[in-house]
Structure 1
Amino acid sequence: MQQSFLRNATLGAIALTTASAAYAAPASVNGQWVTQDKDAVVSIGPCGATICGKLSQYLVTPPNGVGQKDVNNPNKSLRSRKLLGTAFLTGFKADGTQWRGTIYDPKTGKTYRSVMYKGKSGNLIVKGCIGPFCQSQTWTPR
């Protein structure tokens, strides 16, 4: 009888651990997303052990054409790279119900701490943060 109780208690603990781990996992953000300004498509998916997002298509041609370079990058050696195909969202890992990583803004050449998660409507909420202050954008699925 004691063995049965211990077995049931162990199975119950395993079930609770599995259920809470599944509940805490963030919704997948993989796929193609149209930015809030509707000027580009970002493709999000696995990059090794993390998730990243790359600029995959322009919906509005940038001032210097589709070959637009990363001219504002603080690293001079990266200023000649094309923005198309560049990963702007990098190092994202699951953290509770959201994903945490960094986001690069090619307009300013700055990199920010970032959080992203799926909203209730199925849109993607992407935040760039400096300290406790965050600015968010809502991206729509393609």
Structure 2
Amino acid sequence: MRGMLAAAIAAAAASVLPAEATAAPAASPLGTWLNPYGSVAVRTGACGDRLCGWIVWASAEAQADAREGGVTGLIGTQLLENYRPTAGGWVGTVFVPDMGRRFYSKIEPVGSDGLRVKGCILHGLVCRSQLWHRVAQPPHA
């Protein structure tokens, strides 16, 4: 379950407006990101005028956790939904497949190759965060 929450949170970090995506600053959330457990990789990109993120690789354990939550095809699942830029990062919704739920999410850049992804309940009063790292390609791809 932690792996999926981490993946979902990480995916959330990947959102930004397409205009910003074109500029691709050093702290851009565009790219492929690996969660801290090394169990899920998420690729971020545009979805309308926002940015979103989709699972492009998942370990066997992460896929089993997702099946328990009712998600049979984890690869291709959209985790990060409708992120928009805000002061110091991006906000949107993260889908956690092993729980089958969506949560408020905030993403903050950490250097040029990291994202601190937060998943929150109670409108941001209780949050959990993880540090995701940029990768050139998903593991075993």
Q: TM-score, normalised by structure 1?
A: 0.67
Higher relative contact order (CA 8 A, sep 6+): 2
- Flag structure 1 segments of 5+ consecutive residues without an equivalent: 1-24, 74-78
Give the superposition deviation at 1:64: 6.0
SS in structure 2 of the partner of residue 62 of structure 1: helix
Q: Which residue of 1 aligns with 2:100?
A: 109
When Rg is computed on C-alpha atoms for both structures, the one with the higher figure is 1
**What is the distance in 2 between the residues matched to 1:35 and 1:63?**
11
Residue of structure 1 in register with 2:32 after alignment: 32
Structure 1 CA distance, aligned partners of 2:95 and 2:27?
Answer: 22
Alignment correspondent of 1:133: 126
Structure 2 residue aligned with 1:41: 41
Paired residues, what number?
109
In structure 2, the gaps of 5 or more residues are 1-24, 136-141
Corresponding residue for 2:88? 97
Residue identity (%)? 28
1:39 partner letter? S
Q: TM-score, normalised by structure 2?
A: 0.68
RMSD: 2.5
Distance in 1 of aligned mates of 2:87 and 2:61: 36
